[in-house]
Amino acid sequence: MFVHIPKTAGTSFRDALDSHMRMVYDYSQGNPVTSKDVSKYIYQQDNFYDFNKRISSFKNVCIAGHFPVYKYLNFVTPSRIITFLRHPVDQVISHYNHQVKYHNLSCTFEKFIATPKNVNLQSRMLYRIPLGLIGFIGLTEQYDCSLKLFNDIYNMELKSLRSNVNDKKNMQKEDLGSELLNEILNNNADDLKLYQSALALLKTRSEFNKNTDPKRWVFSHAQLNNKGNITGCAFTCGEEDKAVKLELLVNGGISHQFEAKEFFSEIPKARLPRERYVGFKVANKCLPADSEITIRVVETQQIIFSDKLFTKR
């Protein structure tokens, strides 16, 4: 499933995918690019069950389009979800220029960036699934590097294309004054945080793949809850059915090891492996106050959680 966020080099990536897979497109009701099966089952009949059965009969198929990830979240395992992100300032400007050129947008740039549907678009489209569980996240600014990583992970040979490039731009980044620039950043604080996390994730995963089989990468999500426990989930990139073995480090020293094998009830629509028995919990009694806490994968030393705890016991 390719979640195509507008103006993130998604059309270039989609066109590259099109030569390798059978593509099923959902670009909204009435859009000429939207596939007939989507129009029939989703927009005419509102029948997701029959649509899922229909596309499951296809070989090597990919659902792609301008839809939120949650819409088809139960259709694929998280390791098969793909998207691209872009720095929010560049994404907003490019989105505005595209709307002006192709959709006869007549409002001012100031009004466009303040309109709710144009604010935090990237994080809203990925809402309800943590970044660490998404199969692949590329970055527009590092497109070729992202494409190479994608090919390595999925054993494909997608070529670097440049599609839907707007050479006639009404607004340039260089034209923005500090006031407008700050307004975009403030309005899209969620997108900026998401982009910075994706940037760090891309770097970490690229380094991981230099020395390790990409299929040994562990998708994970971990957080400190209001009871002082660390809860989360972890599962492998490959099709292995074994639980991921983790270890807890306190101030750099190994405290104990455990497996991600508890039932994980969060994100109920997600199609998680091992029938959802991928969860874990580290009780607060194992987390001393004023300590550096790290959780990492035993097999590869991949870090899935790291934080400084200041909680008073």
Looking at residue 167, its pLDDT comes to 67
Burial letters for 244-278: b for 16+ Cβ neighbours within 10 Å, e otherwise? Answer: bebebbbeeeebeebebbbebeebeebebbbebbb
Q: What top-level class would CATH report for the domain 2-21+60-211?
A: alpha beta
Domain residue limits, the chain = 2-21+60-211, 214-309
Amino acid at 76: V
Write the DSSP symbol of residue 44. Answer: I
What does each of the 313 residues of the chain score in pLDDT, given as a tens digit?
Answer: 999 999 999 999 999 999 999 999 999 999 999 999 999 999 999 999 999 999 999 999 999 999 999 999 999 999 999 999 999 999 999 999 999 998 999 999 999 999 999 999 999 999 999 999 999 999 999 999 999 999 999 999 999 987 766 666 778 888 888 999 999 999 999 999 999 999 999 999 999 999 899 999 999 999 999 999 999 999 997 767 899 999 999 999 999 999 999 999 999 999 999 999 999 999 999 999 899 999 999 999 999 999 988 654 4
- For the stretch 109-115, contacts whose Cβ atoms lie closer than 8 Å and that sit 24 or more positions apart, written own/partner, are 109/170, 109/171, 109/180, 110/180, 113/180, 113/183, 113/184, 113/187, 114/183, 114/187
pLDDT at 313: 43
User: Does 3.40.50 match the CATH number of domain 214-309?
Assistant: no
Q: How many helices (H) and strands (E) does the chain have?
A: 9, 12
Please state the separation of Cα 28 from the chain's center in Å: 20
The contacts of residue 44 (CB under 8 Å, 6+ apart) are none
Give the residue from 291, 274, 273, 277 showing the smallest Cα distance to 224.
Answer: 291
Amino acid at 156: M
Residue 49 is encoded by which pair of tokens? Answer: 């069950």
